[in-house]
Structure 1
C-alpha cells in the first residue's frame, strides 16, 4: 500500500464511513452454511443501483483504501491481491488514480445496456457495486462512493470468480 501515489489513495474527505466499511466487510464475507444464490442478470432488477447513480462521464476517480486487516480481513485480502495482480499485469497505473479512463453506464431498468458494453465501461451491477470492464475478460470491482469517485475492491481475470464475488455480495445483502 505504501507504493501507491497520493492520487491512488482514498482520502478522508471522499471516503466511506466506518459503518459503511463494516457493512462492506459483512457483504463480502462468505458465510459458512449460507447457500449462495446464483443471481445472474436478474440481480440488477432485484438490487438496482443506489441513487444517486454516478454521473455519465468518461473519466472517473478510482482509489484504494488501506483498511486494518484485523478488522477488515476480507477487504484487506482482496485489496492486497488486487494490487499485486494489477502490478504484475501492468494495469495498476491505468485503472487506479484520478481521471482514469472509464465511461460510466447508467442503469435504466433493463438487464441489457445499449449500446453494448465495451472496454473501459463502468457497468452497474446493483446496489453500490460497479464493474470496470478491461480487455480479455478482466474486471475491477468498484464500490461507488459519490459523484465520480469509486473504491477499487477486487480484480478478476476469471469470470467464475467475478460471478462468485457478486453472488456472495448480493446473497449477503438479501440476508441483511
Structure 2
C-alpha cells in the first residue's frame, strides 16, 4: 500500500515544470486517468484515508500543471476530477473548450437526468490542501442508465483547480 501511494505521488510530481505540448489541436479535452489499481481507491479494501491521499496526489498533479502552464494554453482550464463512488475514473483534465467545461459543471435538469452543485466541501471533509488560485466545485449527477440495475447512475464529481467562472 505504501509503495503504491509513493508511486502515485511520484507520478504527480512528474508534472512539476512540465506542460504537455502534444495535446492535439482538434481535441476539446485531454486527460490522464489516475494510475493505480482500482482496488486501491474503491471497493472493500480501500479507506477514506487512502482515498484522501490519492485525491491529494491528483490535486498536486493539477497544481503542478497549473504552475507550469505554457502561454499558448493560458485560456485552457486545468482540473483534478475526483469521482465518487467510482474513484477509479478520477483524472487530471485539461479543458481547451470553455463550453465543454461548462457542459460538465453546470446545473441542469432534463429527461436524461439532473446535475446540481453541492454545497458541501470534499476538501474540508478529507482535509485536502489546495494551492492559491485553486478552487473546488462539487457536482451531484443523477442520470438515466439502462446498464444499472435500478436504471439510474448516481455519483458525485469533485472538480479542483481552475473551476471558478470566468
TM-score normalised to the size of structure 2? 0.27
Larger relative contact order (CA 8 Å, sep ≥ 6): 1
Structure showing greater Rg = 2
TM-score normalised to the size of structure 1? 0.26
